[in-house]
Amino acid sequence: MIGRILIYLLALAGGTVFLFAYRLWFAGFLMAALLGLPLFSLILSLPAMITTRLSPQVPETMEQGTQVCLELAYSSVLPTPPFRCRIRVERPLTGQRWSLRPESLLPADRCGGLVVTIHRAWVYDYLKLFPLPVRRCPPRTVVVRPRPVPMAVPDPALFAPAWKPKPGGGFAENHELRLYRPGDSLQAIHWKLTAKTGKLMIREAMEPVSRPLSVQLELTGDPDTLERKLGRLLWLGDYLTQRQLSFQLQALTGRGVEVWSIPDHEALLAALDALLLSPPATGGSLAERMTAGAWNCPIGGDPDEA
Amino acid sequence: MKHKKLLPALTAFFLSFCLIYGGLAAMVTGTGLSAELPALGLWCALTIGVVVALFHLPRGSWICLAALVLCLGVLALSKEFRDQVLAAAAHIFTFYHHGYGFEIPPILAEAEALTHLPPLVALCAVEAFFLAWAFLRSCPVSLGLFLSALPLAVCFVVNDTVPEAWTVCVWLTGLVLALLTHPVRLRDRYQGDRLARLLAIPTAAAVLLLSLWVSPATYQPPQIALGGMDDLLVWLRDMLPLPDNYPDIDLGETYFIGGFQPDQVTLDRLGTRVDSSAPVMEVTSTAGGTLYLRGRDYDRYTGSSWQGDTGRLEPNATLPDRYATRGPDLEIRLLDQTDPQYLPYYPPSTMTIRDGLAPRWGNTHHYEMRVLRQDWQSLWRDRANGNDTQADERYLQLPDDTRQEGRKLLEQILSGQDLTDELSMAQAIGRYVRGCARYDKVPSRMPDDQEDFAIWFLTQADAGYCVHFATAATVLLRCAGIPARYVEGFTADVQSGRTTKITQESAHAWVEYYLPGLGWVILEATPGAGGPTPIGPTEPADPTEPSQTTEPSQTTQPSQTTQPEDATVPSESTQPSEPTEPSEETDPSQQTQLTDPSQTTGPADVTDPTDPEEPGQGLIGALKGILLLLACICAVIAALAAQWLLRRRHRQKRCRGRPDRQALSDYRLARRLARWTKTPLPRELSALAEKAAYSHHRLRPEELGQIQSFVTGCLEKTRGQSRLRCLLYRLALAI
């Protein structure tokens, strides 16, 4: 804009010299045109300037390491006048900030949510002489998902369900045979086996008892550590959900302890996206929140942990 | 898809045509190049159309560049084309030669051509290439704009090449549109073109209004304290690479009319007279009548110009007492510091004239005028022929060819008349010159094949203004052996006791001839000039001519439009009737009777606020107002018509065509209505519109109905809006 203003001032100075040196009609006409041009441009541009809206065009999610261009969507009642803006990109997970120009690449080298905000946005008249601030638009978020990082899986037997008698009996897929105890229902007596053994045998209906599965994650550490933790979470979550094992995710973030129940892959991604947009934890621990009797799986960020 | 190519092409064509044709037409009208404007317009349109069409081919810009180079190369091989280019350059260069003394290169001096159209078309093709490159390839437009301004710039280096206003308006419309839309075009070409289409009418209207506001007829250059202006002009003169033979300008004593003008009057390129209403001075007189105020004289005639020799120092002697009587008192207040002192006829005491100018000593000058006695002619004829002082030989100077031709003409003019003295011969010459052509501010220029301006005007021209007539009379007087010189200054009708503002429109040229024993006397050679009641010893103007302060714009005199067949004795139909005895009109005693304002013609511009406004000015003002009103009404009608057309087009699209097109049209309407009624536009509609635009599948009737139901709902909402708001919305939509 400064360049345009300088050019205009130069033209004005030239027109003034021409006005007094030439002195015929055209000199005055040119001078009047030079003086009126900015006003004319402003009048024509004002509806478009006032109604100009800018918003960043970014995908909602993207994979870590992919290259995505930061584009701007603009609209106004007339063809959008020239504008200028800076785009602030913030990664809450690590607290990093960037000030980017439109058409530049999003910083997707690391995982984490990105909050894209337009700031210092100015729209100009069509002659690019008068600036007007553009009304702020809500920020957009992009989630850069981590690459899965494999981790050591506990013995699958741990995931095998335990059995307990079904209260009240009834139909069951699995049954236990035992000696009669006083109070057992007569309907539960296994007559055939009783006849063979000569002892009263009971056929008890059993139902599965799965141990609660709890995954703990603390959003602490340097960016590499965080990246490993989140990658492991993704890998483990995939591993569990593929086996149709629901689990509970407990995460310590900057907002405190957050808990998600993950029954399937979509829920896993939703929880992961929320985690990626969370600020890192500044203190505290999940150690005291270990569920007693449950299989607790804390995810660490140590590189040798795998 | 078709519109995506056609509309940008049409937009680029329109912008390029405005810029190119406006610039070239300005150059043609300003410099008088030999090219018909309609033909030039057609050629420009054809050339630009071809260039724009070529740009739409694959690799079109390269094809166009190759075609352009090929065509120019083929043309350059043609001797006829080369001659036309050189002739056009020579034609333009002549103005610089006359204005600044640049020598015409020999290669240009010998060039001749019947028409200058082909070089202009070639220039148009080059400009069209760069402009199409900018408009259709979203490249910087600076080079194209610079090229389009070049022809216009040619006109504005010297003062006598003023183009017609409409050409400048056309060019300016293109320039403003290009400047306003190019930043948008650089980002998005289609949006830039759309903006150009939207702004075309407002820009054209704005330029039209501007041209009405700053009209050539009423333009007044700004008056500034020119103390620093002289320094600026001196600085400019030092900075410019002027040749050595450029006349040295003493700014303190140089006569400026219309700007930085060297000490000469260019005749062979004399074009349209450009008047300006800039005030020059204020004059207060104790008597009414027509006043001649002498600015500067020119002594040397070259056939194509009047030149004022430097180093002339001579007294402007006052009238001898024998012929003089007391005239009115006069006070002149100069408004422009670059002007010289203007002398009335006659100042009370002898004054020194240097290089044809009276030195200026202040802003306000007071004169106790002396005027010729009523019987000065008889007194002069009865004078004792003794040791009368003679004028300098320089005032008889003429080129040899001019003198020979002039003498032949003079023999025809004076034959059959018994003319014994200089006074009678001067009067006869004045009568002849006044009747030889009609007055016209837009005369034809002297053809290139003519060598002498005065002879051409006397023998071939049918119209001219004061410069033409005064030059012709001066040359004839010199041929007759009467010392004469060409004088420029101002004439104005003044009223007794009132202050009259004299403007540039009153600039005038006349002749001074020398009568031995008396001195320099005015000869008014322009028909209709001088007014009925001159103050001072002028040769009276033709009484049959309309009297006016300034020169008439179009004095149509059918009887005088043709040269008399027998020029020896001008017939009654072509010559002005014998004027009344000059002494009757220059009688000082009569002048004293003319001090009654009611008996004199109205002043050019009287500062007395009680004076009624001139009817002509009022009429012009009223016309301007009506034009402005009409323009506003037309703009509103155009806006409403555009909106109606837009709606009709949308309606047609909605009612006809494939469901996808209907859906898209409905979606656009829905978007506008949603914005207006502040209804959130459902995302589903956007998805449907995208599907209609990009998908190969046609929308189903229920999907189309979804959009249409939204439109109907929004329309229902608008029913409650006020009619004024609806109208404003329509106008805004149209604009």
A288 and A186 part of one domain: no
Cβ–Cβ of B180/A41 closer than 8 Å? yes
Residue A153 lies in a domain: no
Instruction: Report, as an integer, the average pLDDT of A238-262.
Output: 85
Q: What is the pLDDT of residue A193?
A: 93
pLDDT in tens, A111-143: 888 888 888 888 898 888 888 888 878 888 888
**d(C-alpha A238, C-alpha A217), whole Å:** 15
**d(C-alpha B267, C-alpha B510), whole Å:** 15
* Chain B contact set for A36 (CB, 8 A): 206, 210
Q: What is the pLDDT of residue B254?
A: 34
Residue of A28, A80, A127 with shortest CB distance to B179? A127
3-state secondary structure of B539: strand
Q: What is the pLDDT of residue A192?
A: 93
A194 and A221 part of one domain: no
Residue A151 lies in a domain: no
Q: What is the pLDDT of residue B646?
A: 76
Window B:151-170, CB contacts with A under 8 Å: 156, 159, 162-163, 165, 168
* A185: containing domain: 162-209
Q: What is the pLDDT of residue B85?
A: 86
Let me know: does A274 contact A93? Beta carbons within 8 Å: no
Among candidate residues A70, A71, A117, the one with its CA nearest the CA of residue A92 = A117
A171 touches chain B (CB under 8 A): no
**d(C-alpha B64, C-alpha A235), whole Å:** 60
**d(C-alpha B464, C-alpha B476), whole Å:** 17
Q: What is the pLDDT of residue B231?
A: 58
A19 and A114 part of one domain: yes
Burial B267-299 (b: 16+ CB within 10 A, else e): bbbbbbbbbbbbbbbbbbbbbbbbbbbbbbbbb
Q: What is the pLDDT of residue A155?
A: 63
Instruction: Select from A10, A24, A83, A101 the residue whose CB has the most chain B CBs within 10 Å, as the one to mutate to test that interface.
Output: A24
Q: How is chain B split into domains, by residue range?
A: 2-213, 227-264, 279-380+388-612, 620-734
The rounded radius of gyration (Å) of the Cα atoms in chain A is: 34
Q: What is the pLDDT of residue B535?
A: 57
Let me know: does A74 contact A66? Beta carbons within 8 Å: no
Last residue of a domain, one of A104, A120, A145: A145
**d(C-alpha B526, C-alpha B178), whole Å:** 47
Cβ–Cβ of B211/A23 closer than 8 Å? no
A51 and A20 part of one domain: yes
Let me know: does A70 contact A142? Beta carbons within 8 Å: no
pTM, two decimals, is 0.54
Which has more pLDDT, B232 or A11? A11
Window A:38-77, CB contacts with B under 8 Å: 40-41, 44, 47, 77
**d(C-alpha A138, C-alpha A70), whole Å:** 16
B219 touches chain A (CB under 8 A): yes
Q: Which helix (H) or strand (E) holds B708?
A: helix B701-718
A104 and A135 part of one domain: yes
**Tokens linked to A82:** 């020239």
The whole-number mean pLDDT for each consecutive block of 10 residues of chain B, a chain of 735 residues, reads 70 90 87 82 90 85 88 85 84 70 70 79 89 81 84 71 83 90 83 86 89 76 55 60 46 35 71 73 85 87 84 72 83 76 79 72 76 84 73 86 89 81 88 88 81 89 90 92 90 85 86 87 82 49 37 34 33 33 34 32 33 49 76 82 76 71 83 82 86 80 85 79 71 64
User: Which CATH number is A63's domain given?
Assistant: 2.60.40
Q: What is the pLDDT of residue A23?
A: 67
A222 and A92 part of one domain: no
Q: What is the pLDDT of residue B537?
A: 46
**d(C-alpha B79, C-alpha B486), whole Å:** 43
Average pLDDT in chain A: 84
Q: What is the pLDDT of residue B653?
A: 66
A8 and A138 part of one domain: yes
A129 touches chain B (CB under 8 A): no
Last residue of a domain, one of A177, A209, A241: A209
Residue of A19, A24, A127 with shortest CB distance to B258? A24
Q: According to DSSP H, which parts of B293-399 are helical? A: 376-381
A135 and A225 part of one domain: no
Q: What is the pLDDT of residue B585?
A: 35
Q: State how far residue A65 is from chain B, nearest Cα, in angstroms.
A: 29
**Domain count within chain A:** 3
Q: What is the pLDDT of residue A255?
A: 82
Q: Which residue from B minimizes the CA distance to A48?
A: B195
Q: What is the pLDDT of residue B317?
A: 65
Cβ–Cβ of B221/A19 closer than 8 Å? yes
A151 touches chain B (CB under 8 A): no
A9 and A141 part of one domain: yes
A37 and A83 part of one domain: yes
Q: How many CB atoms lie within 10 A of CB B512?
A: 23
Q: What angle do CA B401, B406, B411 make, to 5 degrees?
A: 135
Residue of A22, A40, A128 with shortest CB distance to B259? A22
Instruction: Report, as an integer, the average pLDDT of A159-173.
Output: 79
A102 touches chain B (CB under 8 A): no
**d(C-alpha B162, C-alpha B219), whole Å:** 14
**Tokens linked to B394:** 């320089």
Per-residue pLDDT band for A180 (boundaries 50, 70, 90) equals: very high
Cβ–Cβ of A18/B179 closer than 8 Å? no
The ipTM value here is 0.71
Strands B499-503 and A295-299: unpaired
Which has more pLDDT, B574 or A201? A201
**d(C-alpha B351, C-alpha B318), whole Å:** 8
Cβ–Cβ of A128/B183 closer than 8 Å? yes
Dihedrals phi, psi of B571, to nearest 5 degrees: -70, 165
Cβ–Cβ of A126/B156 closer than 8 Å? no
CA distances from B541 to B438, B628, B649 (A): 14, 40, 67
**d(C-alpha B509, C-alpha B298), whole Å:** 11
A124 and A171 part of one domain: no
A220 and A204 part of one domain: no
